[in-house]
Amino acid sequence: MVASGLVILARHEKARLVSEEWIKKEKCVFEFVAICTKDLEKGTYRHFYMRTEEKAGQTPTLYDEIPETAITERSDYWDWDVVTMEVVSTAPLDGGCAAVRIRTKNTGPTKERIRAQLAMLGAPVLNDKAVTRAKEVNKEVAKAAGLLPEPAKR
């Protein structure tokens, strides 16, 4: 398995502020690979959430569309924001699972919500207890995906 990434370390406040500004202006791209319970179509997915829930310190609920009942006047649309992710590629795994490569320009608990979006699309992350409580994962599937450690050689 190959993994790559970039970690920005800065000892100066100015460098931290610059990197945060890049993230805010979506100049950074983040890519992840998730082992999901099924394959997904390539494409960009978006879901809506209420900004007021985010400010209250709770994890906002995601919606496929803004509920009509939440909008009583035009200004109510300002209470809503959107999270997006792009499924760049997928690779089938044994047992009907898939490795899903995801790209996003946002980061953070409410700007990303990758696990929640995958679950809404019907392809939750394998063994994600928050959304797959009743689904037991086959050991052969987990081993084929590289999720189980190999026994030590003597």
pLDDT tens-place string over residues 51-107 = 877 666 667 778 888 888 888 898 888 888 888 889 999 999 988 899 999 998 765
pLDDT tens-place string over residues 39-60 = 999 999 988 888 877 666 667 7
Long-range contacts of 24-27 (CB under 8 A, 24+ apart): 26/105, 26/106
Per the confidence metrics, is the pTM higher than 0.85? no
CB atoms within 10 A of CB 73: 6
Could you state, in order of their start, the residue ranges of all structural domains in the chain? Answer: 32-144
